[in-house]
């Protein structure tokens, strides 16, 4: 890979956090059962999330680089004692920094709320199907929410926050957990991207578009590969810079989690395969393959 300039190689490692910045755009999908007209609303929410957050990142990156200076952007994170955005707002707007602080707080709560909604609904669906203990499939009789899944998610999040905060400083803890999340999610995106052309060719061939359903997802899957190996600390590509400790812990942590997950899946396939069928049916009723429809 000599064609890749040495100065650009750290960008591969940095792309781990570029992907992290977009993780969550698919959080609307687990809310489908609680959404009016989900087949129309959920796809719109997913696509608009990607577009709007992309525009937001472009705007903020442009504004910060123009003010701070491209040559000094490496020092941006340490500017104003590590509180760069508030420092910029104070310099430009004076007391207007308070408005930015309010926006940041709202954004933080929205991020946590979105993560909780997606995760707890997924856990609840697995509890309902039997792939997780039935405890997680409980629905509160009054609020009609997966209250037990929410409490477990909140408790686990609190424990991880405290452990991370006491083990490292807040920024390092965020980076470690963010790396773990990214390395865990990228294979899901990869498999989903490759499944796109298979799905449309098998079930919706009449709607198949070569660019949208083949070229775009395959290119997307390819772009995920270097970031995954860089975040996991697997030295497959010489052009990808390795992450330093403690970010390098992401690989062993995610690897252990995947081994446990595959073990559980094998157990369910051998002992409780019906629970996997129920989970698949709860996501979407089984479509009729094109070939089967033609034969029928």
CA distances from 129 to 144, 190, 192, 206 (A): 18, 25, 22, 32
pLDDT tens-digit map of 118-144: 899 999 999 998 999 999 999 999 888
Looking at residue 27, what is its pLDDT?
87
Any idea which residue has 């609840």 for tokens? 124
CA angle 253, 183, 146 (to 5 degrees): 80
> Is the peptide bond between 246 and the residue preceding it cis, with omega within 30 degrees of 0?
yes
Looking at residue 296, what is its pLDDT?
42
Looking at residue 4, what is its pLDDT?
47
Residue from 199, 178, 191, 258 nearest 224 by CA: 191
Using the 8-state DSSP alphabet, how is residue 227 labeled? H
> What is the rounded distance in angstroms from the CA atom of residue 284 to the CA atom of residue 282?
6
Looking at residue 294, what is its pLDDT?
42
Q: Mean pLDDT, consecutive 10-residue segments, the chain of 296 residues?
A: 53 85 88 85 91 91 85 83 87 90 90 89 91 91 91 94 92 92 94 95 92 95 91 78 85 94 91 82 54 41
- Cα-flanking dihedrals φ and ψ of residue 87, to 5°? -65, -45
Tokens of 225: 């590969």
pLDDT tens-digit map of 252-287: 999 999 999 999 999 999 888 888 888 777 665 544
The domain locations on the chain are 8-68, 85-165, 169-276
> What is the rounded distance in angstroms from the CA atom of residue 96 to the CA atom of residue 102?
10
Looking at residue 230, what is its pLDDT?
87
Looking at residue 194, what is its pLDDT?
96
């Amino acid at each position: 890979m000599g064609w890749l300039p040495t100065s650009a190689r750290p960008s591969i490692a940095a792309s781990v956090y570029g992907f992290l910045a977009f993780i969550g755009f698919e959080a609307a999908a687990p809310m489908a059962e609680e959404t009016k007209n989900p087949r129309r609303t959920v796809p719109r929410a997913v696509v608009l999330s990607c577009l709007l957050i992309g525009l937001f990142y472009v705007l903020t990156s442009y504004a910060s680089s123009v003010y701070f200076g491209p040559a000094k952007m490496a020092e941006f994170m340490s500017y104003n004692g590590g509180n760069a955005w508030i420092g910029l707002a104070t310099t430009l707007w004076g007391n207007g920094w308070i408005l930015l602080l309010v926006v940041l707080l709202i954004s933080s709560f929205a991020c946590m709320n979105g993560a909780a909604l997606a995760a707890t609904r997924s856990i609840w669906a697995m509890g309902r199907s039997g792939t997780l203990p039935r405890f997680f499939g409980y629905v509160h009789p009054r609020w009609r929410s997966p209250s037990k899944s929410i409490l477990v998610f909140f408790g686990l999040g609190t424990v991880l926050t405290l452990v991370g905060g006491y083990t490292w400083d807040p920024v390092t803890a965020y980076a470690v957990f963010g790396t773990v999340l990214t390395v865990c999610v990228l294979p899901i995106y990869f498999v989903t991207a490759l499944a796109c052309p298979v799905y449309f060719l098998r079930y919706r061939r009449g709607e198949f578009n070569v660019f949208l359903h083949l070229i775009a997802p395959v290119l997307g899957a390819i772009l995920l590969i270097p970031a995954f190996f860089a975040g996991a600390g697997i030295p497959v590509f010489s052009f990808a810079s390795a992450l330093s400790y403690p970010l390098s812990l992401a690989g062993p942590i995610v690897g252990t989690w995947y081994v446990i997950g595959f073990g559980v899946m094998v157990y369910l396939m051998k002992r409780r395969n019906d629970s996997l069928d129920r989970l698949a049916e709860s996501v979407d009723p089984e479509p009729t393959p094109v070939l089967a429809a033609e034969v029928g």
